[in-house]
Each structure stands twice: as C-alpha cells, then as structure tokens.
C-alpha cells in the first residue's frame, strides 16, 4: 500500500528540501577550505575549545559539511546524512546560544569570508532552524521509496 502523500509533488518537495540543505552545506564547507587558519580563529572566538581543537575542527569540519551535503544527494546515504547534518546543525546552534548567553559579540563564521564578515548569532540561529525544518521535511515521506531522489 502506497502512502497517501506519495504524489509527484510530494516527491519533488522532498527532493527540493534536501537539495537546498545539501547546496548550503557544500557551499559552507567549500568556502572555508581555502583558509583554515581564519576559520580556526572564528571557532576560537566562541571560546568553547582550546586552540589545538579549534585548529583541528577548522581542518575537518569543512570536509564533513561537504560530505554530508553530498550524502543528502545520494539515496543510499541520505538517511545517515540527514541525521548527521541535523546533529551538526544542533551542535552549531548550541555553540551560538552559548556565545549569546555569555554575551560574546561574534559573527557565526559559517561561510568563511564569503558572507562579508559573517551574520549575527541570532540570524545564524534562525537560518539553522530553517535548515533543520528542511531536513525534517525532506524525511517526512521516508517510507516511500523515492526513485527520483
């Protein structure tokens, strides 16, 4: 028995939601690859991890974002990529909230230098909420075997 919402529109909406998140993750990762030192400083501005850990995160997080974005495009890896991407967005959001609670005036650093110095923590939190909603929407019809996704 097919789910009631297995219409072509539903499949396209699901695919569009996942592709939007995938594109943002790949873009965010790619913009930080060129200058890991700058990204390490941006991570350090959150004052959550020691400099060595910030340096390691600056090297590996961009690759993780790219891998998760590509995973959202591959049917075989989609479920795992959705779960890991949601976890990453929640971790980023927790770091932003921690900075706000401690009164740190920081820019998110989410897109390296591509966003003109970064967006405010509040705007970054709102964006993360939208991305999480898109990930959720992309998995609403998970039981349906999507051949076009």
Q: Dump pLDDT digits (tens) for 121-140.
A: 888 899 999 999 999 988 86
**Inside any domain, residue 144:** no
Point out which residues pair with 107 in neighbouring strands: 120
Q: How many domains does the chain have?
A: 1
**Inside any domain, residue 148:** no
- What's the mean pLDDT in 83-96? 95
Range of the structural domain that residue 42 is part of: 8-138
**The whole model's pTM is what?**
0.84
126-137 burial by CB neighbour count: b if 16+ within 10 A, else e? ebbeebbebbeb
**Inside any domain, residue 2:** no
Confidence of residue 1 (pLDDT cuts 50, 70, 90): very low
Query: pLDDT tens across 20-35, in order?
Result: 999 999 999 999 998 9
**Inside any domain, residue 146:** no
**Inside any domain, residue 51:** yes
């Amino acid at each position: 028995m097919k789910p009631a919402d297995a219409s072509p529109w539903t499949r396209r909406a699901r695919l569009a939601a996942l592709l939007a998140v995938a594109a943002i993750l790949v873009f965010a990762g790619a913009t930080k690859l060129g200058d890991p030192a700058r990204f390490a400083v941006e991570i350090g501005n959150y004052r959550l991890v020691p400099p060595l850990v910030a340096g390691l995160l600056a090297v590996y997080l961009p690759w993780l974002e790219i891998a998760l974005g590509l995973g959202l495009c591959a049917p075989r890896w989609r479920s795992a990529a959705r779960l890991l991407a949601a976890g990453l967005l929640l971790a980023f959001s927790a770091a932003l909230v921690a900075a706000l609670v401690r009164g740190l005036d920081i820019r998110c650093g989410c897109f390296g230098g591509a966003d003109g110095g970064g967006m405010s923590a509040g705007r970054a939190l709102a964006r993360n909420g939208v991305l999480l909603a898109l990930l959720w929407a992309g998995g609403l019809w998970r039981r349906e075997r999507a051949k076009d996704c």
